[in-house]
Amino acid sequence: MSILKQRVSRAVLSNKYLRQEIFIAFCLIMLTLLVFIGYLFPGVSANSWFANRATLPLVIGIIIMILTIGFLIIWQIVEPIIRLNREAKMIASGDLTREICLTREDELGELGSSVNALTRRIRENVEELNNLNKKTEVLNDEINNRIVMLSNLMEISNGIAQKAALKDILRIAVEKCFPEQEMSFGCVILKDEQTNEYRIQYLHSAHEEQLNRRGLNAMKIALGIGVLGKAILKQEAVVIDQATKMTREIEDFKGMFLVNNAIISPISSTDNAHGLIIAANERPDYYCTETQKDLLQLVSKHIAIAVLNEKLSKEVEKFEMTDSLTGLYNNAYARSRLGFEVKQAVYTQKTCSFVLMKIDRFKDYLTAFGHIGVEDALLKIAAVFKECLSSDAKAARFAEHEFALVLPSVNKRDAIALTEDIVKKIAERFAQEENPARHLTVTAAVVENPLDGRTADDLILRSGIILADTIEQGGNRVGYQK
């Protein structure tokens, strides 16, 4: 039957148009009906071919043959439609791996090819969506990790602002800034200011007891020797992962700390190498990303700020910070604070302004009203400073009749505006005195790092020169270099 079907298809249905196939099938069926009608009504002629009953078997054979050919043609049309419908239902149910196999060259074949093309397109779109979903999940995880990191960095910043102990800040930096599944080992190495030796100040590891028994907590880091010594000397970040070429020094480092991978970032500020921070793990298939490297460097910068803050706190404890009369900071503290803020400004790439202020005609005022009158005037000026300055700004009594303002993160333009307001308010406050001789004024000079000087001493020297020139111009004004 199948052989006959193929031969009929090749002989009769050689065209490629479904409409012609249907027309041929229709004509065959009509021919069968005509033969049958001709046999039933042979006509008036006795010699009619249909009147001869002897031809009945031949007529029946012709009818059967024509019906068979017509049926095969109809089946040739209907069967692909049924198969196409079945495959389309399976594709619609979600099986996008299905392919409709039709070798026909007519409209049904074109329909099958179109459905296959549509299925492939849908499959490609679904695969693309799945890939996008995976990428979205990775991005979401990275965003969540960065949010957690930002929160921990804010905690470190708050600890620095609240003058928390350096040990507590190191603990937050090591234990919280990297998830356990990424970095199971954390270590901070800092310079001992008394011995100038680099030692481990904080260690967090699953093998902490074993490492301590090895004497790791007492280990000294020699500059230029080994992975750590070279990292401190060169002040460069070091990455050790599966892509790193192994050397004897790296093998020694791994064996020393019992890790397989590590990111080492220097802790430094301007011209000062404070130490290193190490984040490591034991994963056999770990590759460091730029994001992880950048995050560790960001943590190291916060630790550097905490170290500088700790140093400043220790230095401040060595001497009296405030002036006993005015309650303002004294000269020593102002110089030390200015030096710190200049270093901070260089490190954070921000500005720092310094204002030097002097009372006009002070000797005349002292001669006229004595020390008691001068002390009263100094207290009034100090009150104006306290009213006008924010908590970040530091006002100091710099000399007998000189004052200084340390303004961190304030540029020269804003510092000039602030100083002009202070000078004006001081003049207004003393202008209320009935005695014109008590109408004190002040003259000020404003400088900014690094425009007017790169160190605290440079700024102080430059402000003194500008102040002297401004006083010669008449006083009661603000001088600065344009």
Question: Would you state the pLDDT for residue 383?
Answer: 94
Question: Would you state the pLDDT for residue 13?
Answer: 44
pLDDT band at 476 (very low <50, low <70, confident <90, very high): very high
Q: Tell me the helix, strand and coil percentages in the chain, rounded to 5.
A: 60, 15, 25
Please measure the distance between the N-terminal and C-terminal CA atoms of the chain and give it in whole angstroms.
105
Q: What is the pLDDT of residues 207-227, one digit of tens each?
A: 888 888 888 878 888 888 889
Domain 319-480 classification at class level: alpha beta
Q: Helices H, strands E: what count in the chain?
A: 13, 11
The two domains 163-304 and 319-480 share their CATH topology (first three levels equal)? no
What is the Cα–Cα distance from 433 to 436, expressed in whole angstroms?
7
Check whether 102 has a pLDDT greater than 60.
Answer: yes
Q: What is the DSSP letter of 53?
A: G
Q: What is the pLDDT of residues 274-288, one digit of tens each?
A: 899 999 998 888 888
Q: Report the chain's mean pLDDT, rounded to a whole number.
A: 82
State phi, psi for 94 to the nearest 5 degrees: 120, -5
Of 421, 415, 414, nearest in space to 355 by CA:
415
What is the model's pTM?
0.48
**CATH assignment of 163-304, among 3.60.70.12, 3.30.450.40, 3.40.50.1820, 3.40.50.740:** 3.30.450.40
What is the Cα–Cα distance from 413 to 265, expressed in whole angstroms?
37
Over pLDDT 90: what percentage of the chain?
32
Taking residues 112-125, report their average pLDDT. 79
Q: What is the pLDDT of residues 299-341, one digit of tens each?
A: 888 888 888 888 877 776 655 688 888 989 999 889 999 999 9
Q: Which two tokens stand for residue 359?
A: 């009372």
Q: Which residue has the higher pLDDT, 116 or 168?
A: 168
Full DSSP string of 331-398: HHHHHHHHHHHHHHHHHHT--EEEEEEEETTHHHHHHHHHHHHHHHHHHHHHHHHHHH--SS-EEEEE
Domain spans, the chain: 1-162, 163-304, 319-480
Check whether 55 has a pLDDT greater than 70.
Answer: no
Question: Would you state the pLDDT for residue 447?
Answer: 96
On whether the CB atoms of residues 478 and 427 are closer than 8 A, the answer is no
Would the CA dihedral through 463, 469, 473, 474 be positive or negative? positive
Question: Would you state the pLDDT for residue 12?
Answer: 43
Length of the chain: 482
